[in-house]
Amino acid sequence: MSPSAKQIDKVFQQVISRNPGEHEFHQAVREVFDSLPTVLSRHPEYVEASILERLCEPERQIIFRIPWTDDAGTVHISRGFRVQYNSALGPYKGGLRFHPSVLLGTVKFLGFEQVFKNALTGLPIGGGKGGSDFDPKDRSDAEIMRFCQSFMTEAYRHLGDRVDVPAGDIGVGRREIGYLFGQYKRIANRYESGVITGKGVTWGGSLLRTEATGYGTVFFAEHMLRAAGTSFDGTTALVSGSGNVAIYAIEKVHELGGTVVGASDSSGSVYDPDGIDLDLLREVKEVSRARISSYAEQRPQAQYLEGTRVWAVAQKSAVDVALPCATQNELDEDDAATLISSGVTAVVEGANMPTTPEAIRRLREADVLFGPGKAANAGGVATSALEMQQNATRDSWSAEYTEQRLSEIMENVHTRCASTAEEYGIPGDYVAGANIAGFTQVADAMLAQGVI
Ligand code: NDP
Ligand code: 2IT
């Protein structure tokens, strides 16, 4: 083992013992660390300044009680989190996740990823993440509002357009952002638009923010395909999930001439050999807030696969591209094997850390192009930063201009990952390219700002 690899291992052992049981956090740290031995050999100053140790300890971790009352008058206590992970490049920036699986370790893994992702956008944003173990499923609109208000009643004191700027993630969309912003405005007595992103376009939101993560993922994937001499045109694709990221990824794949034949939710998947009917999917998920099974009920040619991940559709249809857009660790080694047998040529992550390390290894051994989430899904947070920019100048941009900016940013993220991988002698390794480019930018800023 090289001295750098030994140093990395030592820090990783500390991460495990200081953060017991936080497996997702360990996984996210390990994945970045695996890309760093050569970086540390070239930059001993990072080791001298304990950059790795500092990057594994968030700047601030806030945990709070969220009391709220349901429609029947029963009081519930949820747990709220905000991890203000790293502010070397700008105010803390990152989404809020409302899902019963959320633990401190979940928020730490997402915050850790966010730091490097935000660096890759080239925009002045630090990294943070937050959320709650509140389960929004089957809750009424009034319950969602009361919960969001209670969340913000505590969270507001830690936020600000130059301090920490949340946005959406799983379970948090336009409706929740509205209730959160309203409560912040009421408590702070300030119309501080830039305190949260993902707002409605008539009250400070940016055009394209809703579409940005899904579109951006497909832009990134298209650059990867082009670099390999192909494109989306004529391809068959699978997208997991059917939420914000998935819906707009499907839309962009269709615009670029591909056909998405499968999508899913946490209960099951649909296989639609004619291509997902987006109007119907949006009606089911965004308007009725129903399960994806109801899509299949209304679409005679589609099959519903109860309790099955969407990757199983690759047993029924040849698949060229897979875009995991639901949640972490949702594509494992067996799923990777299914996709490889089906002829997949690229897997590009719209979600955060959806592919297990074993699955990534398997895909790369089979020479499948692999685009990591911290690069591929950066379009969402990048457009959030564009929303902050519009708020700061009290301006709003056209859809065309905003999409142009998003498309340029994704092209730059792709170029940075590809050229960094080349510089380090591992061409085509987008995982290492993204990790090294993000890490060195944050590390250099931390070095310049002293031991803080
Ligand atoms: P949504 O809440 O809009 O949609 C989430 C989708 O994933 C739903 O279809 C949901 O199904 C499914 N899902 C959630 N949890 C699980 C689970 N444990 N097992 C299986 N399926 C699950 O969230 P988003 O689309 O916003 O987020 C999706 C992913 O993209 C997340 O990893 C998020 O961190 C990441 N991301 C989001 C960005 C954004 O701008 N929104 C930006 C960058 C990354 P069900 O309805 O059944 O729960
Ligand atoms: O994971 C992510 O990048 C997000 N959920 C979006 C964060 C943001 O601040 O827009």
pLDDT of residue 1: 86
Q: Please, what's the b/e burial string for 234-252 (b: 16 or more CB within 10 A of its CB; e: otherwise)?
A: ebbbbbbbbbbbbbbbbbb
Give the percent of the chain with pLDDT over 70. Answer: 100
For residue 347, the cross-strand partners are 322, 370
Of the pLDDT bands very low, low, confident and very high (cuts 50, 70, 90), residue 323 is very high
All CATH 1.10.285.10 domain ranges of the chain, comma separated, are: 1-57+428-452
Q: What would the pLDDT profile of 235-255 be if each residue is shown by its tens digit?
A: 999 999 999 999 999 999 999
The fold of 60-191 is Rossmann fold (3.40.50)
The CA 246 to ligand 1 mean position distance, Å, reads 8
- What value does the mean pLDDT of the chain take? 98
Contact indicator for 347, 377 with CB cutoff of 8 Å: no
Residue with the nearest Cα to atom 43 of ligand 1?
A: 377
Whether ligand 1 lies within 6 angstroms of the CB of 244 is answered as yes
Annotation says 252 is catalytic: no
Residues in the chain: 452
Distance CA 329, CA 351 (A): 10
All CATH 3.40.50.10860 domain ranges of the chain, comma separated, are: 60-191
Q: Do the strands 346-348 and 259-265 form a parallel or antiparallel pair, or are they unpaired?
A: unpaired
Average pLDDT on 427-431 reads 97
Rounded to the nearest angstrom, the gap between the alpha carbon of residue 140 and the centroid of all alpha carbons in its chain is 26
Distance CA 173, CA 47 (A): 40
Q: What would the pLDDT profile of 140-194 be if each residue is shown by its tens digit?
A: 999 999 999 999 999 999 999 999 999 999 999 999 999 999 999 999 999 999 9
Report in angstroms the alpha-carbon separations of 390 from 92, 191, 366, 395, 398.
Answer: 18, 14, 44, 5, 11
Q: Give me the catalytic one of 117, 129, 199, 374.
A: 129
Copy the structure tokens of residue 349: 């992550």
- Which-ligand-closest: CA of 327? 1
What are the start-end ranges of the H helices in 64-129?
104-121
The CA 326 to ligand 1 mean position distance, Å, reads 4
All CATH 3.40.50.720 domain ranges of the chain, comma separated, are: 211-371
Q: What is the pTM of this model?
A: 0.98
Q: Note the CATH number of domain 1-57+428-452.
A: 1.10.285.10
CATH architecture of 211-371: 3-Layer(aba) Sandwich (3.40)
Phi, psi at residue 155, to the nearest 5°?
Answer: -70, -25
Q: What would the pLDDT profile of 89-111 be if each residue is shown by its tens digit?
A: 999 999 999 999 999 999 999 99
Q: What would the pLDDT profile of 131-154 be if each residue is shown by its tens digit?
A: 999 999 999 999 999 999 999 999
